[in-house]
Structure 1
Amino acid sequence: MKKRYTEEQIIKAIKQHEAGTKVDDICRDMGVSVGTFYNWRSKYAGLEVNEAKRLKELEAENNKLKKMLADKMLEVEAMKDVLSKKW
C-alpha cells in the first residue's frame, strides 16, 4: 500500500533522525523503507517546511514550462514542414 506523506511529516522525520533517533525506528513508525527515508533526506535535508513547499511549487512550475516549450517547438517543426512542402 502506497502512502503519501506531506512535507511537514517528512521534515519532522528527518529532524528526528538529526536529533538522534535511529533510521530503522523512524521507518518502522512511518511504514516506509530505509531507502525511501534516505531519498527524502537527500531531497529535504536542511529545509524548513515553507522552503519545502516553495520547492514543490517551483518544480511544478518548471514542469509546466517544459511542457509549454515542448509544445511550441513541436508547432514550429510542423510549420517548417508545411512551409517546406509548399515550395
Structure 2
Amino acid sequence: MKRSRFSDEQIIGILKEHQAGLSAVDLRRKYGVSDATFYKWRSKYGGMEVAEAKRLKAL
C-alpha cells in the first residue's frame, strides 16, 4: 500500500484550517491533494484531535 505524504497530525491540522474558514479549494491547491482525498480525510478525521487519532491508530 502506498505511504501517505502527510501524517495523521498534518491531516488534522489541514482540516482545522478548513474549519477556521479557509475554503476547501484553496487548501487542496496549497497542499496539492485531490478533491476525493480531501473529502475522504474529512470523513475519516473530521472533528478529531491529534490525541484521538493516535489512539485510533494504536487500536
Q: TM-score with structure 2 length normalisation? A: 0.86
Q: Deviations over 1:38-82 (max 9, x none)?
A: 000000011100110111121xxxxxxxxxxxxxxxxxxxxxxxx
Separation in 2, partners of 1:54, 1:28 = 30
Partner of residue 14, structure 1: 15
Q: Deviations over 1:10-32 (max 9, x none)?
A: 01111111111010111111110
Of the two structures, which has the highest relative contact order with CA contacts closer than 8 Å and spacing of 6 or more?
A: 2
Report which of the two has the higher share of helix: 1
Separation in 1, partners of 2:30, 2:9 = 15
Q: Percent identity?
A: 56
Gaps of 5+ in 2: none
One-letter identity of the residue aligned with 2:57: K
Query: Which protein is bigger by CA-based radius of gyration?
Result: 1
Partner of residue 64, structure 1: none
Q: TM-score with structure 1 length normalisation? A: 0.61
Shift of 1:3: 4.7
Flag as ranges the 4+ runs of structure 1 deviating above 6 A: none
The answer on 1:53 being equivalent to 2:46 is no
Q: How many residues align?
A: 57
Partner of residue 78, structure 1: none
One-letter identity of the residue aligned with 2:22: T
Give the superposed CA RMSD: 1.4
One-letter identity of the residue aligned with 2:43: S
